[in-house]
Amino acid sequence: MNAHKPSRRGVLASAGALGLSLQFVATQSFAATEGDLARKKFVFVICRGGMDGLTVSPPVGDPDYARLRGAIALHDEAPKLDSTFALHPALAATYALAKAGEARIAPAAATPDRARSHFEAQDVLESGVPRVYGSSSGWLNRTVESLARARKVSALSVGPVAPLVLRGKAPFASWSPGRVVDASARLPILLQDLYRNDPVLGPALARGLQTEVMARQAMDSVAQMSPDAMAATPSPMGQTGAAGAQAYQRQGEDAARKLGETLAGFMREPGGPQIAALSLDGFDTHANEGAATGLLAGRLAYLDALIDGLHRGLGPEWKNTVVAAATEFGRTARVNGTGGTDHGTGSTALLLGGALKAGGIVGDWPTLKEAALFENRDVAPAVDMRGLLKGVLAEHLGVDRAALESTVFPDSAAAKPVANLV
């Protein structure tokens, strides 16, 4: 099979200017197609660790919310979406999109899995089958495979390891910004030599290589630190305490935003990928979860920055785009003894994009009444994740209903596609 990369000049110009190095391996040409569907773009973001939906989109109007959440409950600091739901204040760009009719929440979404095991739940989320370890391929790869029967379509995995959701028979490309740029690495040296005399790419690549280490190390460091550790560790600018923690956080957000902008640049390229998948880690908040600030707020700020980068980077193509952000399960409704929450069931899925139909919440809200909690502890599932994704894939990408039921999400006839999303 012939392998081609997207325009090398276009890729290096956008990534170098954003301070990111490239480790790009293409396994399929990004071939453009004619027609409206060829312009449609879909990005799937996996929020690994069990993202707490009750903090992402706090149901501040639910009479049981504040009692169950205690010290981590959000109040007036969370901007309201409607009379029941708000958004976490760290999701500022997402809130602006929601007010523009370009972001919606599904506040009680869940996969068919109920085991509360990270590995099992992530497998079910990404494989798209109702059984743990029931498939070695992912539903997004099978989406590409189904679409490729009628037209050319391409997909991109972002990150050092392709997530299961994009593995399978259909070829896809992979790109990773890398964790650290090694000054002795062969690829950076070759690229610098190749473009040394280019008046545009030469300086851009040099700046990118210089700033890559700081940006990636900042993001990696923050991802591993507790708030106390962040406050005690000097930032690259020599700051400690609250100032140092804030500097680390800002650098992580900048890196996430640049990642989104770079991905958008790939998708804007003539013949660029229509479909992309990536993961964000660190949402397993058993202790010190925090409320408006704290551990989870920092992770949500990364997610928001990534979305903001995609929105900015796609420009006019945002109107042809849907982004779905989902997690493997939610967290318990009640707070545990260490200021965190344990593995739960229903959580919030986010849908964003200019192609999205304006509207309210997606699905029903089961409430937080004691009798309504799943197994007396969790947000009860009200939307099957497969039905939510089916609705997007059918209405946005034009995936055939029969293919959705038999190939993309096998054995999912009971999970009806959510309608009128796009």
Distance CA 116, CA 361 (A): 25
Predicted local confidence at residue 240, as pLDDT: 60
pLDDT digits (tens, 9 = 90+) for 278-304: 999 999 999 999 999 999 999 999 999
Predicted local confidence at residue 203, as pLDDT: 53
Q: Tokens 């986010």 — which residue?
A: 350
Distance CA 214, CA 209 (A): 10
Q: Which phi-psi region, left, alpha or beta, contains residue 290 (left: φ > 0; alpha: ψ -120 to 50)?
A: left
pTM for the model: 0.81
Distance CA 37, CA 35 (A): 6
Distance, CA of 179 to chain centre: 18
Residue 278 near residue 263 (C-beta atoms within 8 A): yes
Give the number of C-alpha atoms closer than 13 A to the C-alpha of residue 170, restricted to the C-beta side.
Answer: 26
Residues contacting residue 6 through CB under 8 Å, at least 6 positions apart:
26, 30, 266, 269, 271, 272
Give the number of C-alpha atoms closer than 13 A to the C-alpha of residue 392, restricted to the C-beta side.
Answer: 31
Looking only at the bridges linking them, the beta strands covering 173-176 and 383-384 are unpaired
Q: Where are the domains of the chain?
A: 22-186+213-408
**Percent of the chain as helix, strand, coil, to the nearest 5:** 40, 15, 45
Distance CA 399, CA 396 (A): 8
Distance CA 295, CA 202 (A): 39
Predicted local confidence at residue 36, as pLDDT: 74
Band (228; pLDDT cuts 50, 70, 90): low
Residue 186 near residue 156 (C-beta atoms within 8 A): no
Span of 57-71, 179-193, 374-388 with lowest mean pLDDT: 179-193
Distance CA 12, CA 6 (A): 10
What proportion of the chain, given as a percentage, has pLDDT over 70?
Answer: 76
Structure tokens at 339: 């200021």
Dihedral sign for Cα 399, 137, 151, 410, please.
negative
Say if residue 347's pLDDT is above 90.
Answer: yes
Band (38; pLDDT cuts 50, 70, 90): confident
Other Cβ atoms closer than 10 A to 1: 6
With 0-12 CB in 10 A as exposed, 13-18 as middle and 19+ as buried, what is 261?
buried
Looking only at the bridges linking them, the beta strands covering 41-47 and 103-110 are unpaired
Domain spanning 22-186+213-408: CATH 3.10.450: no
Q: Average pLDDT in the 362-366 region?
A: 97
Closest by CA to 230, choosing from 298, 292, 287, 286, is 298
Span of 166-170, 239-243, 332-336, 387-391 with lowest mean pLDDT: 239-243
Q: Which phi-psi region, left, alpha or beta, contains residue 188 (left: φ > 0; alpha: ψ -120 to 50)?
A: alpha
Say if residue 15's pLDDT is above 80.
Answer: no
Three-class SS state of 66: helix
Band (249; pLDDT cuts 50, 70, 90): confident
Residue 236 near residue 245 (C-beta atoms within 8 A): no
Looking only at the bridges linking them, the beta strands covering 41-47 and 275-280 are parallel
